[in-house]
Amino acid sequence: MSVLASFSTEGSWWYASCHDLDVHTQGRSRKEAHENLVEALQFFVISCIERGKIDQVLKNSGYVPDVGSAGPGDDENQTWLEVPLSLVAQNEQNRTNRMGSVS
């Protein structure tokens, strides 16, 4: 999943934001703020899935499948951020295909 992230500093803190999904965090360095934002976005998406709200949240935020050729952000404080998500189907057929026959 690719999201547009922005970074700013205030004093000794870096702030990282994904305004589209209203997820924000901070860190003592840009790298730490970046890592914290990836983690916060992962938890946010998982929470949306668990509550059955992921479709609504993504549609309301303007996301569509296959963003494809996302370019750089508008300025040096914006960048496209890759948010790795590990999703596994939790139905009987998929468990059987992954693990062999289920007794």
First to last CA, the chain: 36
* pLDDT given for residue 5 in this prediction: 95
Per-residue pLDDT, 71: 55
How many domains does the chain fold into? 1
Whether 14 and 32 have beta carbons less than 8 Å apart is answered as yes
Alpha carbon of residue 91 to chain centroid: 24
Q: What is the pLDDT of residues 60-93, one digit of tens each?
A: 988 877 555 555 556 678 888 888 877 666 665 5
pLDDT value of residue 38: 95
Give the structural domain span for 79: 2-99
For residue range 1-52, list pLDDT tens digits in order.
Answer: 888 999 999 999 999 999 999 999 999 999 999 999 999 999 999 999 999 9
CATH number, domain of 26, equals: 3.30.160
Taking residues 53-62, report their average pLDDT. 90
- Quick one: which of 33, 18, 26 has its CA closest to 63? 18
Query: What pLDDT, on the 0 to 100 scale, is given for residue 90?
Result: 66
| Predicted local distance difference test score (pLDDT) of residue 103 | 43
